[in-house]
């Protein structure tokens, strides 16, 4: 028995959510140098979150 193809989109979205959880479990000190600590745009976890949200929207749209 094989899963229907739309499950691939659900699995992809789930993988991206899991990746997002992994990203936010990384401490800020590991991704932002001390000298940039005051600048939120330097926090690469936000960059990663933006990318992940974009991917989730794409896989939701092209399902």
What is the number of alpha carbons within 13 Å of residue 37 lying toward its C-beta?
7
Instruction: Indicate the residue among 40 and 42 with the shorter CB distance to another protein.
Output: 42
- Among residue numbers 3 through 62, which ones bind another protein (CB under 8 A)? 3, 5, 8-9, 11-12, 15-16, 19, 23, 25-27, 29-33, 36, 42, 44, 47-48, 50-52, 54-55, 58-59, 62
Q: How far apart are CA 21 and CA 25, in angstroms?
A: 6
Shortest distance (Å) from residue 49 CB to another protein: 10
At CB < 8 A and 24+ separation, what contacts does 18-25 make? Answer: 19/48, 19/52, 20/48, 20/49, 20/52, 23/48, 23/49, 23/52, 24/49
Binding region for another protein (CB under 8 A): 2-3, 5, 8-9, 11-12, 15-16, 19, 23, 25-27, 29-33, 36, 42, 44, 47-48, 50-52, 54-55, 58-59, 62-63
């Amino acid at each position: 028995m094989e899963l229907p193809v739309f499950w691939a989109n659900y699995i992809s979205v789930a993988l991206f959510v899991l990746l997002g959880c992994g990203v936010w479990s990384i401490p800020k000190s590991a991704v932002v140098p001390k000298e940039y600590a005051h600048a939120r745009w330097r926090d690469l976890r936000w960059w990663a979150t933006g990318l992940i949200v974009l991917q989730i929207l794409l896989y939701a749209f092209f399902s």
